[in-house]
Amino acid sequence: MGSAGLPLFDPPQPPLRRGKRKVASGVTDETNGGSSTRPDVKPKPVAQETSPSPLTQEAPQTLTVSALIARVRCALADAFPRRVTVVGEISNFKLHSSGHMYFRLKDADAAIDAAMFRQFAAHVRFTPADGLEVVAEGRVDVYDPRGQLQFYVESMTPRGAGALELAFRQLREKLQGEGLFDPAAKKPLARFPRAVGVITSPTGSAVRDICRTLQRRWPAARVYLMPVLVQGEGAAESVAEGIALLDAHAERFGIDTLIVARGGGSLEDLWAFNEEIVARAIFAAVTPIVTGIGHETDVTIADMAADVRAATPTAAAELAAPDTAEVLRHLASLHARLHRSVVEGLASAASDLRGLLRSAIFRDPAAGLRIRHQRLDELSHRLRADLGHLLSQARRRLDPVGGKLAALHPARLAEVARGRLDRLTARLAWALGARSKRAGDVLAVWRGRLLAVHPAQRLALVRQRLNAAERQLEAMSYRGVLWRGFSVTRKADGAILRSRADAVEGDWITTELADGMIRSRLGEPDGGTTTDHKLDAARQGRREQNHGTG
C-alpha cells in the first residue's frame, strides 16, 4: 500500500527500496531498540552508508503532503503489522445506502473514525447503534484525502453479549413494539384437528417426534409435511415461505393446525427461527400455529410470534392434538350421562305416577274429609277459647264504663230529679210562704203521682211537670220579691217604669208593694242630686224588679 506513494515524495533518491528501508529502519530503531532480530532489516548497513540518519540529520528535507502521509502509513504498517482488535463505544453511526458503515469508536479520552465496508458489514448480525460498546477487529490506516487516522473494521461483535444475543434482543424489542407477540392476537387451536400441517425438515428428529406423537394421541388427523430448510444459508426464507404456502392452501387440505418445528441445536443452528422474516410469516398466517423449536430452554422469536409455544417438537404435537383415550373416556361418560338422565327421567315420571296412585286421596277419599272435620272441631274449640278470653278482656275494659252507666240509670235520674224537686219545693215554700201553699199542694199531688208510676215513665213525667212547675213558679216569683221589700212602679198607662228617662215630672205613678198599691205623683226634685238619689233608688228598684221577673 505504502509503495504507491513513494515515487512521488522521493524522486531524487534513486533506489526505491532503499528509501523505504531507510524509513522502516528508523522506525524499527525507535520502537524496538534493535534491528538485528528482524529479517527485513538486513539491508540496514547499506542504507547507513548513503545516509546514516535520514530523519534526524537531514531534518530540513521538504516533503510533499502525500509523501508525509505515505511515510506515516509506512510507520503505521510497521507498528501494526497485523489486524488489531479495539474495544470502544460506537458514536455517529451511519449506514450508507451503498451498504458501508461509518462511525467513530471512542472511549473516555480518545476517538477514532471507523469504516466498515459492505462485504464485512453484511456479516454483522446485530444492528450497530450509537452508544453500543463493541469489539472491532480491523486495520489502522490513514485516510489520504484528510490525513486522518482511520480504523477499517472487518468484523465486529457487541461487547458483553454475543452478537446473536444482541440481535435477538433487538429484534424482539422491535417486533414487540409492532404487536407481533400481543396475546390478544393469538388464535385458539382447533380442539380436535382434522389435519395438521407440519413445517420442518423431512429428515430431522422433529418430524419423527411429531408424527409419533400425533399417531399416538390423535390418529384421526391427517398429517401433511411441508419440507423446509431449517438450518444454514437461506433457512429463514425457506421456513417463512413454507409457512405462507401451507397457510394459503390449508383450506384445500382441510388443515386446521400448523406446527413449525425443529430439533435441538446450538443458538446458531436455531438462528433461522430468530429471523424477522419467519416471525412475520407466523404472525401473518390465518391458521393457528404451534411452535416447537429446540429444547426446553430455547425460546426463539418464532415461538413468541406463534399462537401457542411448545418447548419441543413433541410438546408441540401434544398441544396440537387431544389424547384419543381421554376423548373416548369423555364420550363414554357422555353416553352414560345421556342414558342415565333419560332412564332416570322416565323412572322418576313412573314413580311420580305410582306415588300419586298410592297417595291417601286415592286410597281413602274419606280420610281427607275426616281430617277436615277434625280440623274444624279443633278450630271451633280454639275459637271458643279465644272468644271467652276476648269477652273477659272486654268486660275488664267495660267495668269503669259500667260505673258511669249506673249513674245514668233512669231510677237514679229520677232520684236526682226528685232531689231537685224537693229543693225547688223548699225554695218555693220559702218564697211564697203561706201564699204558695196552693202551689205546694199541686206539687205535692204531682209528687205523689210521680212516686206512683214506673221509674222510667216517672222520669219523663217528672221532666214535663218539672218544666211546667218551674214556669208557673217563675211567673209568681216577683211577688215573693215584693215580700222582701221591693216594689214595682207602673206609669199611668200600666207600663212598668223601667228607666229614669221614662219618668216625666207631674206624671201619676202606681207603686205595687207586697200588701197593696200606693198612688203618687212625680214631683220636681229639690236639686239635681236629690232627684238623682230618688231616681237612683228607683233605678235600683227597677233592677231588682227586673231581676225578679226575668
Partner 1 sequence: MEQDKLTFEVALGRLEKIVSEIETGKVSLEQSIERYAEGVTLIKQCRSILETAEKKIQLLAKDQGMGLEVSGELDPLREE
Chain residues that interact with partner 1, rule: CB under 8 A: 190-192, 194, 198, 202, 207-208, 211-212, 215, 219-227, 245-246, 248-249, 252-254, 324, 327-328, 330-331, 334-335, 337-339, 341-342, 345-346, 349
Q: Diameter of the chain by CA atoms?
A: 205
Nearer to partner 1, 100 or 249 (CB): 249
Nearer to partner 1, 260 or 466 (CB): 260
- In the complex, the smallest distance separating the C-beta of residue 211 from partner 1, rounded to whole angstroms, is 5
Sequence-separated (6 or more) residues with CB below 8 Å from residue 74: 2, 20, 23, 24, 27
Nearer to partner 1, 334 or 390 (CB): 334
d(CA 321, CA 189): 9
Nearer to partner 1, 47 or 225 (CB): 225
Q: Is 494 left (phi over 0), alpha (psi -120 to 50) or beta?
A: left
Across 408-434, b (16+ Cβ under 10 Å) vs e yields eeeeebbeebbeebeebbeebeebbee
- In the complex, the smallest distance separating the C-beta of residue 327 from partner 1, rounded to whole angstroms, is 7
In the three-class reduction of DSSP (H, G, I as helix; E, B as strand; rest coil), residue 306 is classed as coil
- In the complex, the smallest distance separating the C-beta of residue 147 from partner 1, rounded to whole angstroms, is 56
- In the complex, the smallest distance separating the C-beta of residue 342 from partner 1, rounded to whole angstroms, is 4
Nearer to partner 1, 328 or 445 (CB): 328
Per-residue cell: 274: 430468530
* DSSP labels, 165-224: HHHHHHHHHHHHHHTTT-GGGPPPPPSS-SEEEEEE-SSSHHHHHHHHHHHHH-TTSEEE
- In the complex, the smallest distance separating the C-beta of residue 341 from partner 1, rounded to whole angstroms, is 4
Nearer to partner 1, 112 or 211 (CB): 211
Sequence-separated (6 or more) residues with CB below 8 Å from residue 185: 179, 283
- In the complex, the smallest distance separating the C-beta of residue 369 from partner 1, rounded to whole angstroms, is 34
- In the complex, the smallest distance separating the C-beta of residue 351 from partner 1, rounded to whole angstroms, is 13
d(CA 311, CA 346): 51
The number of C-alpha atoms within 13 Å of 285 and in the hemisphere containing its C-beta is: 38
- In the complex, the smallest distance separating the C-beta of residue 171 from partner 1, rounded to whole angstroms, is 27
Q: What angle (nearest 5°) sits at the alpha carbon of residue 170, between those of residues 165 and 176?
A: 120
Nearer to partner 1, 354 or 533 (CB): 354
Backbone angles phi, psi at 198, to 5 degrees: -110, 125
Nearer to partner 1, 340 or 373 (CB): 340
Candidates 449, 438, 454, 444; CA nearest to 421 is 444
Q: Is 129 left (phi over 0), alpha (psi -120 to 50) or beta?
A: beta
Dihedral of alpha carbons 326, 330, 333, 335, sign = negative
The answer to whether 226 and 248 have CB atoms below 8 angstroms apart is no
Amino acid letter, 144: D
> Which helix (H) or strand (E) is 335 found in, with range?
helix 324-358
- In the complex, the smallest distance separating the C-beta of residue 259 from partner 1, rounded to whole angstroms, is 12
- In the complex, the smallest distance separating the C-beta of residue 221 from partner 1, rounded to whole angstroms, is 7
Nearer to partner 1, 208 or 543 (CB): 208
Nearer to partner 1, 146 or 194 (CB): 194
- In the complex, the smallest distance separating the C-beta of residue 354 from partner 1, rounded to whole angstroms, is 16
Nearer to partner 1, 334 or 379 (CB): 334
The answer to whether 303 and 275 have CB atoms below 8 angstroms apart is no
